[in-house]
Structure 1
């Protein structure tokens, strides 16, 4: 299980199920989608 978000480290440390903490996973995904959309519009 991956915990995301700015407060994920608080929950992640207390959970036995969370294996990965990534504060920026959602934002990184949105950035990638935006960049791909910009690339497609440039065609």
Structure 2
């Protein structure tokens, strides 16, 4: 995702943390590979 957004992984992580703090997304472990984290878009994030 960072490549597609033309940014670094660290910067993307900070952005997702801010979105999570605002209630737009939630982070959860990837069920297939625990090394990864999925960001799930919440209803407020869709709006």
Higher radius of gyration, 1 or 2: 1
Higher strand share: 2
Higher relative contact order by CA 8 Å / sep ≥ 6: 1 or 2? 1
TM-score, normalized by the shorter chain, greater than 0.5: no
Higher helix share: 1
TM-score (norm 2): 0.33
